[in-house]
Amino acid sequence: MPALEDLRALDLANAQVTLWAIKGPTGAAAEAPHFSGRWVDTTDEVDAALKEILAAELAKIEEVIEYGLLAQNNEASALQIPTDETHAGLLLDEVAAELDGKKASQINHLLNSKFYVAKFIVGDQIAFAVRKTEPGWKTKKAASFRNLYFADQQLAIDDRPHFELSKTFDFIIFGDTILVRNKGAFESVLRYKSTQREDFVELQAEVEFLAAFVDVTPLVEYVGDNKIQLRRACAIRDKGHYRDAEFMQRLRQTQAEYGLVIQFNGDGKIIATPDTCAQIMKALLDHRLKSGFSTLVYDVQDTTPVQV
């Protein structure tokens, strides 16, 4: 876990902290995202709070898992993905320099920001911690309430603009690695889903994939633009079991044993139907497995080969 260890080794107590509020991603969904950011002057108290939040987030991580389309982390783990496999570079370009023209000088510069980036500089090392904003950052939400505070045993109105600082970060960019704590937020902010769309389009044009089906149209319609199904379709391409003649032969011969009812034509090609697309996806992902101990059949979220 080199990235995690290096992050934990940072002297956060002496880090220089800058907070950026970011609007975006904008632009066509299938294109690289565009970000627009403003940096904000913060008090020593806010800087200290951001340092504490990052330190606490890093302390929670006990395991680092390689990012995969179907990989999931939990409260004690993080997913790891190379920075250059994402659009992170475009975000880092936006927050590279605290120029005067980029400084937040009015409330509208902050309202409706989609996320914020806390930038921690320690010598020549920089960590960028990202968090999607809470509803209070939205104009509509802010206009719906009056802020109150309790002091001297009474409530009073505080009409100063208020913004919420979460006690967690969604992902951390550090050098050539991103540690992801919230996969959904990471994919939304950096438009990682758009890459999956492109992969799925390429899969549909792959001769070997098309050759496995009588007609791939029902499967394409089943996947659509659904985030989960796009992940699965891209994982199918990564695994490439449809290219393995022996795998496909075993699928045809033993599918009933595993509770599948996929149809094949006389040439051994898959007949995709709306009712069987989910089963076809499971089969091509190799996600229908039988325990050698209990002999029970299971659906699994991911498959990691074990060397024995």
DSSP annotation string for 167-213: SS-SEEEETTEEEES-HHHHHHHTTHHHHHHHHHHHHHT-HHHHHTB
φ, ψ for residue 146, nearest 5 deg = -105, 130
φ, ψ for residue 23, nearest 5 deg = -105, 135
* Host H or E run for residue 36: strand 34-40
Determine the length of the chain. Answer: 308
Mean pLDDT of 180-187: 95
Task: Give the residue among 150, 2, 180, 205 at the shortest CA–CA distance from 88.
Answer: 180
pLDDT in tens, 129-143: 999 999 888 876 666
Say if residues 64 and 80 touch (Cβ distance below 8 Å). Answer: yes
pLDDT in tens, 223-266: 998 888 998 999 999 999 999 999 999 999 999 999 999 999 99
CA dist., res. 65 & res. 86, Å (int): 17
Amino acid at 157: I
Task: Give the residue among 306, 169, 278, 155 at the shortest CA–CA distance from 218.
Answer: 278
- Per residue in 6-35, is it b (16+ CB within 10 Å) or e — as a string? ebeebebeebebbbbbbbbbeeeeeeebeb
Structure-derived torsion over alpha carbons of residues 76, 77, 83, 85, reported in degrees to the nearest 10: -140
pLDDT range class, residue 30, cuts 50, 70, 90: low
Q: What tokens does 272 get?
A: 């995709």
CA dist., res. 116 & res. 165, Å (int): 9
The set of residues, in sequence order, having a beta carbon less than 8 Å from that of 191 and lying 6+ positions away, is 25, 29, 32, 33, 87
pTM comes to 0.75
CA dist., res. 241 & res. 235, Å (int): 10
Question: At residue 105, does pLDDT exceed 90?
Answer: yes
Q: Is the dihedral of CA 118, 122, 123, 124 positive or negative?
A: negative
pLDDT in tens, 46-100: 999 999 999 999 999 999 999 987 888 999 999 999 999 899 999 999 999 999 9
